[in-house]
Amino acid sequence: MRQLASLKTALTGNYAVAYAVKMAKPHVIAAYPITPQTTIVEKLSEFVAKGELRASFVNVESEFSALATVYGASMAGARAFTATSSHGLFYMYEMLWWAAGSRAPIVMAVVTRTVGPPWNIHDEHNDILAIRDSGWAVAMASSVQEAFDLTVQAFRLAEKAYIPVAVGLDGFVLSHTVETLELPPQELVDEFLPPRSPNAPMPLRPGLPLTFGNIPSDDRIHAEHLKRIYWAHQEAKKAIKEIDAEYGKLLGRSYGGLVERRWLEDAKYAVVCMGAWCGDAEAAVESLRREGVPVGLMRLRFIRPFPDEEVAELEAAEKVVVFDRDITPAGGVLGREVASVLGRDKVVDVVAGIAGVDFKASDFKAAFRKALEAEKGVVLI
């Protein structure tokens, strides 16, 4: 690695994302500036107002419009960013499918928070998981540093794979919590993430009139188009690993691609989870190992594309305990996804920490033991 000084500092998760976006030099940022918005876009608007970031900052009247604006900008070749959370994400729902279906390489930060009723603003993953089938790539950070790194990586991924990328960070636990991180020098970010090519194969061009998203002359055209999005996600798995590895070479940190693995080589039991609480899960797993329990940890960084191949590595484990910070009428989302790879006999799905209820390392240990007793199915904490 070349010797260019990184800046060691302390930031909230929101500001870390804002700095990452600033260094990615987007052309267009659009946001709805009222609840449930976050200080991500507040900080970005400050950068633009001070002239530190040369971007168009568009204040819009709703999240639907925010995504529509960056969607249009992206289709015209711009690098575009927006951020939202919870109900704001759901207000975008229709536009999410249009952006992904149009292969618009947007990056969006999603600060994960509960969905009402009752009214509650605390951490939960239900909001971001609800977009998993829309065609977006969906990732979750586990630390403020990773929120920064993942945001920078997301632009590369989006613009390579022509898939919009949602970068998730846990509400309050990361978004409003100050942690230390390293901000890389701008030169290295520029090298990792060159400006979006002006020759980007996007259709909106002055002097080249055409229509996209209109009624297909044959339904089979639409069907083929949908299949291509499936294949694009399959191909994106490779791109995610390569981008993460390249980021590591250039900027000093990489995480393992779609998943991060800890102590899995000799693991009889595996814990699977996603997001900020994986730090607590790691502490619990480490403590269990000290007590002689052969347990390892797989942290999902991406749930779309889903790391099927990586999860399949857990075949060797006797029991896999999945921790879901979400709940649906069918159980936890990750539990069902992991069971779709490993079978339902091997997987216990622990639903915990929903509605923002605090869940500590000691709670992970207790829940892990409860899960082993349950042997399979869903355990609600």
Partner 1 sequence: MGLELIPISRPAPGSGGLTGTWRTLKPLVDLAKCIDCGICWLYCPEAVIDWEKGKKISIDYAYCKGCGICAHECPVKAIEMAPEET
> 């797993």: which residue's tokens?
285
Nearer to partner 1 among residue 60 and residue 204 (C-beta)? 204
Q: How far apart are CA 364 and CA 111, in angstroms?
A: 23
Q: How far apart are CA 205 and CA 107, in angstroms?
A: 21
Nearer to partner 1 among residue 36 and residue 105 (C-beta)? 105
How many residues at the interface with partner 1, by CB under 8 A? 15
Q: Coil, helix or strand for 113?
A: coil
* Cβ-based neighbours of 290, under 8 Å, separated by 6 or more: none
Among 61, 194, 222, 375, binds partner 1 (CB under 8 A): 222
Nearer to partner 1 among residue 201 and residue 292 (C-beta)? 201
Are the CB atoms for 78 and 84 separated by under 8 Å? no
Candidate segments 15-23, 132-140, 177-185, 218-226, binder of partner 1 by CB under 8 A: 218-226
Q: Is 5 in the site for partner 1 (CB under 8 A)?
A: no
Q: Is 214 in the site for partner 1 (CB under 8 A)?
A: yes
Nearer to partner 1 among residue 3 and residue 214 (C-beta)? 214
Nearer to partner 1 among residue 90 and residue 98 (C-beta)? 98
Torsion angle of C-alpha atoms 255, 258, 262, 268, degrees rounded to 10? -170
Among 5, 117, 119, 210, binds partner 1 (CB under 8 A): 210
What angle, rounded to 10 degrees, do the helices at 144-161 and 13-24 form?
40
Residues 159-178 that bind partner 1 (CB under 8 A): 162
Nearer to partner 1 among residue 75 and residue 311 (C-beta)? 75
Among 225, 227, 249, 360, binds partner 1 (CB under 8 A): 225
Are the CB atoms for 321 and 352 separated by under 8 Å? no
Structure tokens at 301: 């960084």
Among 221, 292, 329, 330, binds partner 1 (CB under 8 A): 221
Nearer to partner 1 among residue 198 and residue 209 (C-beta)? 209
Nearer to partner 1 among residue 117 and residue 201 (C-beta)? 201
Candidate segments 54-62, 64-72, 98-106, 247-255, binder of partner 1 by CB under 8 A: 98-106
Q: How far apart are CA 64 and CA 83, in angstroms?
A: 12
Nearer to partner 1 among residue 194 and residue 252 (C-beta)? 194
The DSSP string of 274-302 is -STTHHHHHHHHHHHHHTT--EEEEEESE
Candidate segments 83-91, 100-108, 110-118, 359-367, binder of partner 1 by CB under 8 A: 100-108
* Cβ-based neighbours of 104, under 8 Å, separated by 6 or more: 70, 71, 74, 75, 80, 162, 164, 202
Q: Is 231 in the site for partner 1 (CB under 8 A)?
A: no
Among 7, 10, 94, 212, binds partner 1 (CB under 8 A): 212
CB 222 to partner 1: min, Å: 7
Determine how many CB atoms are found less than 10 A away from the CB of residue 268.
12
Candidate segments 77-85, 86-94, 221-229, 263-271, binder of partner 1 by CB under 8 A: 221-229
Q: Is 211 in the site for partner 1 (CB under 8 A)?
A: yes
Among 60, 93, 101, 374, binds partner 1 (CB under 8 A): 101
Among 12, 14, 82, 102, binds partner 1 (CB under 8 A): 102
Eight-class DSSP state of 365 = H
Nearer to partner 1 among residue 201 and residue 329 (C-beta)? 201
Q: How far apart are CA 188 and CA 7, in angstroms?
A: 12
Strand 302-304 relative to strand 319-324, pairing:
unpaired
User: In terms of residues, how long is the chain?
Assistant: 381
Q: How far apart are CA 251 and CA 175, in angstroms?
A: 23
Q: How far apart are CA 151 and CA 158, in angstroms?
A: 11
Q: Is 227 in the site for partner 1 (CB under 8 A)?
A: no
Among 201, 207, 292, 329, binds partner 1 (CB under 8 A): 201
Determine how many CB atoms are found less than 10 A away from the CB of residue 70.
30
- Give the interface with partner 1 as residue ranges (CB under 8 A): 101-103, 162, 201, 203, 209-212, 214, 216, 221-222, 225
